[in-house]
Amino acid sequence: MDLTLKIWRQKNATSKGKFVTYKVNGISPNSSFLEMMDILNESLVVKGEDPVAFDHDCREGICGACSMYINGRPHGPDKAITTCQLHMRRFKDGDTIVIEPWRARPFPVLKDLIVDRTAFDKIIQAGGYISVNTGGIPDANAIPIPRANAELSMDAAACIGCGACVAACKNASAMLFVSAKVSQFERLPEGKPEAAERGQATVAEIDRLGFGN
């Protein structure tokens, strides 16, 4: 496949940044989106240019590090996957693909497509946890939990903190992230006692950090 890429390039957090157009040729439809980016970067390195910086870690859809806003959608056109799970067969030969970083005031661009998502860590630090004393590992079945609650908690815990919800939201709101973090504990007996304070503290933090409503 031959593709035209329009990629946001920005030297560092303080520089202005702009879109730069690149051509990549002979891409296999079976390669992943990030592999396609790797191929582009190898060609840039060979030419002595600065490769495109982007976040990635597990490349198996579980860590949430990869973050690209592809053709108007975080993580690209597919449903319920991260950028690293996107494959080039979702595009057509000759397509133009616009790749942007997440855009939100609390997620400043550090370089090219990498944004600083420590705002999410601050939300968790503000109260998105369960206070427990350390000690021996409690017995797995000592506290009975209704299956429905366990399932709902697990659904909420599926949030990998990628930030796509903020990137997608027209208000750049972090409400979905916070609701996932609050719900995953609220459903369990261990998390229930602090549920109200947890909710208030994390919501106060997203307001303080300047996410939208």
Partner 1 sequence: MVLKYSSITKKIIMALAGLFLISFLIVHLGINLLILKNDGREAFNLAAHFMVTNPLIQTMQWVLFGGFIIHILLGVVLQIQNWMARPQRYKVEGYSHTSFFSKFMIHTGAIILAFLVLHLINFFFRAKFGEMPGVMIGDQHYEDMGLLVIEKFKSLPYVLIYIFWLLFLGFHLDHAFHSALQSLGLNHNKYTPVAFGISRALAILIAGGFILIPLIIYIS
Q: Is 102 in the site for ligand SF4 (CB under 6 A)?
A: no
Q: Note whether 84 binds ligand FES by CB under 6 A.
A: yes
The structure tokens listed for 136 are 């021996």
Residue 84 in contact with ligand SF4, rule: CB under 6 A: no
Per-residue contact track with ligand SF4, 176 to 205, x per CB under 6 A? xx--x-------------------------
Contact 168, 67 (CB under 8 A): no
Question: Do 17 and 109 contact (CB within 8 A), yes or no?
Answer: yes
> Residue 114, interface with ligand SF4 (CB under 6 A)?
no
Q: Which of residues 18-37 bind partner 1 (CB under 8 A)?
A: 19
Tokens representing residue 39 in the block? 């191929």
Residue 7 burial (10 A CB sphere; 0-12, 13-18, 19+): buried
Considering CB distances under 5 to 8 angstroms, the limit depending on partner class, which of ligand SF4, partner 1, ligand FES, none binds residue 161?
Answer: ligand SF4
Site for partner 1 in 141-160 (CB under 8 A): none
Tokens of 71: 């053709």
Q: Does 162 bind ligand SF4 (CB under 6 A)?
A: yes
Residue 76 zone, left/alpha/beta (φ > 0; ψ -120 to 50; rest): left
CA distance 213 to 199: 15
Show the binding pattern over residues 53-82: x = contacts ligand FES (CB under 6 A), - = does not: ---xxxx-xxxxxx---------------x
Report which of 57, 67, 62, 55 is spatially closest to residue 159, judged by C-alpha positions: 62
In this structure, what is the dihedral angle of CA atoms 132, 178, 123, 71, given to the nearest 10 degrees? 140
Residues lying near partner 1 in the complex (CB under 8 A) are found at 6, 8, 19, 69, 71-74, 98, 100, 103-106, 168, 170-173, 175, 196, 200, 203-204, 206-207, 210-213
Residues lying near ligand SF4 in the complex (CB under 6 A) are found at 64, 159-165, 176-177, 180
